[in-house]
């Protein structure tokens, strides 16, 4: 089925960069293409919480003048960009998808956005997300759900569902999200795009409104592996304002994209294609593995013995850190304060938090507070951290045998809106394959590897710390070999 010819906003950043360099298009034309697409699809999609068309047009005109005067062009120059609404933007509302920050306008930029903006990117808006990045479906936003451009009755994944849907639908050429337990990779898989979670500390967390500080990672959404490398290169690097930022050289993550996988040792995570994985997902992943083998990769099965405990450990560590981080939303310093008369500060705080936080955030704060309470800290949080150490050692042992590990990104394709809202465990299991990489701090990428019943399936490729170039090399080889048509049906009617 033909799905129409692409507009400028449907092209990759690398393609657009070449056309901008050749003088075939202008930044202003590119911005208008993206803004038209947003106007056309946003009423049905709900990917944005705040749109910035005036800022985008103004910035694009400035860039055209700058480039015409001989200013140097970067890979990000003029590229329409969306940001998950947990990254602070000076002068632009940042809500975290929560009523408690509904009108918060930060006085500073997150480092990741400051670097991208400094490289010439054009902001078209802030994207919808599960409240404080807590969710796997983007149904936990205080401002309504996001819909999947492949099927408007299905979820885009979460918590960065708005960024994933915006890129898949061409509203932005690329976007930033955050990945605490899979919140970049899982929505990328469900929306048929590339989602990259870098090594923990590779990208600064300064200006990222925290969920779980030892897990939160700024990541990339793109429609090609090459673009993921370009976007990561623009935002990576040491930042003295982030104590967890890695002070290590940033090599070009796209340097080996054309090297192929011949001779690469690829380990399929043991059990990754067994119970709980949809048959269509299993078939698509197996086909992708066959293609990698045909390209010369050496495949074997590799066990991560303690990965079965990752979900349990994560849902003690992440809520515990969330309980601590979200204590700052007290109605005193910034954010919403509950209206009405209060007998004392404690009552005011209780009412503010009760009305300002949604049910999923409350669930996780209560769980985390309990895990950290006297008499339970060692039994729950302490034990979870010990499991985390074992998972880190599992990865270290695995990467002594193989170059990268592979598994499905998500055990299922996009599920229907509302299908899992009353079953938190089923929702949490959406991230069963992605959570271990967060606990270990290693890089991982989701790349489209096929379809199941017309919905995209993602293959997760994981590598050792700082091996982004390696996992992108494998992803690029598969992407080129499969040559999938990833233009979602939503665009066929435009």
- pLDDT, tens only, 349-371: 999 999 999 999 999 999 999 99
Res. 4: pLDDT tops 50: no
Taking residue 24's Cβ as centre, other Cβ atoms within 10 Å add up to 10
CB 472 within 8 A of CB 228: yes
Catalytic residue among 12, 136, 159, 476: 159
Our answer to whether residue 183 is catalytic in this structure is: yes
Our answer to whether residue 33 is catalytic in this structure is: no
Catalytic residue among 12, 33, 84, 160: 84
Structural domains of the chain, with CATH = 9-267+400-493 (3.90.1300.10)
Res. 179: pLDDT tops 70: yes
Residue 338 binned pLDDT confidence (cut-offs 50, 70, 90) = confident
Contacts of 62 (CB under 8 A, 6+ apart): none
Bridge partners (DSSP) of residue 299 are 266
Q: Whole-structure pTM over 0.95, yes or no?
A: yes
Contacts of 277 (CB under 8 A, 6+ apart): 408, 411, 412
Contacts of 66 (CB under 8 A, 6+ apart): none
Query: What pLDDT score does 395 carry?
Result: 98
Catalytic residue among 183, 245, 320, 323: 183
Res. 2: pLDDT tops 60: no
Task: Indicate the DSSP class of residue 251.
Answer: -
Give the closest residue to 101 by CA, choosing from 333, 413, 423. 333
Our answer to whether residue 159 is catalytic in this structure is: yes
Tokens representing residue 300 in the block: 């074997």
CB crowding 343-376: b at 16 or more within 10 Å, else e: eeeeebbebbbeebbbebbeebbebbbebbeeee
Res. 343: pLDDT tops 90: no
Task: Please give the biggest Cα pair distance in the chain.
Answer: 71
Residue 493 binned pLDDT confidence (cut-offs 50, 70, 90) = confident
Residue 3 binned pLDDT confidence (cut-offs 50, 70, 90) = very low
Res. 372: pLDDT tops 80: yes
Percent of the chain scoring above 90 in pLDDT:
93
């Amino acid at each position: 089925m033909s799905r129409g010819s692409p507009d400028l906003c449907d092209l990759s950043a690398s393609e657009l960069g070449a056309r901008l360099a050749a003088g075939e298009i202008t930044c202003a034309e590119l911005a208008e293409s993206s803004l038209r697409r947003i106007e056309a699809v946003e009423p049905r999609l709900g990917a944005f919480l705040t749109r910035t068309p005036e800022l985008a047009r103004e910035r694009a005109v400035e860039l055209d003048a700058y480039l015409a005067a001989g200013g140097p062009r970067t890979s990000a120059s003029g590229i329409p960009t969306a940001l998950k609404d947990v990254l602070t933007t000076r002068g632009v509302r940042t809500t975290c998808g929560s009523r408690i920050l509904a009108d918060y306008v930060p006085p500073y930029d997150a480092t990741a956005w400051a670097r991208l903006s400094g490289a010439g990117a054009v902001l078209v808006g802030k994207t919808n997300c599960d409240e404080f990045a807590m969710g796997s479906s983007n149904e936990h936003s205080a401002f309504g759900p996001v819909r999947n451009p492949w099927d408007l009755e299905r979820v885009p994944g979460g918590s960065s569902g708005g960024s994933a849907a915006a890129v898949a639908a061409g509203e932005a050429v690329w976007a930033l999200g955050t990945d605490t337990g899979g919140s970049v990779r899982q929505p990328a898989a469900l929306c048929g795009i590339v989602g990259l979670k870098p090594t923990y500390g590779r990208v600064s967390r300064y200006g990222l409104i925290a969920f779980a500080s030892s897990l939160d990672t700024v990541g990339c959404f793109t429609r090609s592996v090459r673009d993921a490398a370009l976007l990561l290169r623009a935002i990576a690097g040491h930042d003295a304002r982030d104590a967890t930022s890695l002070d290590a050289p940033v090599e070009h993550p796209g340097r080996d994209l054309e090297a192929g996988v011949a001779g690469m040792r690829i380990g399929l995570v043991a059990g990754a294609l067994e119970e709980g994985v949809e048959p269509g997902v299993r078939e698509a992943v197996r086909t992708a593995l066959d293609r990698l083998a045909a390209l010369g990769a050496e495949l074997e099965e590799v066990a991560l013995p303690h990965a079965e405990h990752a979900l349990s450990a994560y849902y003690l560590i992440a809520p515990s850190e969330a309980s601590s981080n979200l204590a700052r939303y007290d109605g005193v310093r910034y954010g919403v304060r509950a209206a009405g008369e209060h007998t004392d500060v404690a009552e005011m705080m209780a009412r503010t938090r009760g009305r300002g936080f949604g049910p999923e955030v409350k669930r996780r704060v209560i769980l985390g507070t309990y895990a950290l309470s006297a008499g339970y800290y060692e039994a729950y949080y302490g034990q979870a951290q010990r499991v985390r150490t074992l998972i880190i050692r599992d990865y270290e042992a695995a990467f002594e045998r193989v170059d990268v590990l592979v598994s499905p990104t998500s055990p299922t394709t996009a599920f229907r809106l509302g299908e899992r809202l009353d079953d938190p465990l089923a929702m949490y299991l959406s991230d069963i394959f992605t959570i271990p990489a967060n606990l270990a701090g290693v890089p991982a990428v989701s790349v489209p590897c096929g379809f199941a019943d017309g919905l995209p399936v993602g293959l997760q490729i994981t590598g050792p710390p700082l091996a982004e170039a390696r996992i992108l090399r494998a992803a690029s080889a598969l992407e080129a070999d499969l040559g999938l048509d990833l233009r979602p049906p939503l665009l066929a009617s435009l």
